[in-house]
Amino acid sequence: MIRSAGGESYVMANYHQVCLDPAVQIWLTSLLEESITSWGDLNRKLIECFQATCNRPGNHFDLTRIKQKTDEPLHDYIKRFCAKKIKIPNVPD
């Protein structure tokens, strides 16, 4: 957002902490001084630390695991299937 507005690195450095989740702020303030030397370094370390906590959209194989439950009305099964399908990118009809 700041970069797209023509912001310089020092502006981004001052502003990005306002945008961070509290868990990320705690992680960032616990780092050793000068352990991050560039935006690329910060990006890499953030990904290494927090990638496993991100929700991922899934893939088309997830749809094969959706089965109609015993005594589940067909309408409810279709709603559940479609709700999952909507969250998965690039799934053909």
Averages of pLDDT over runs of 10 residues in the chain (93 residues) are: 54 68 85 87 88 83 94 96 90 78
The whole-angstrom separation of Cα 9 and Cα 23 is 23
pLDDT for the residue 21: 80
pLDDT for the residue 14: 66
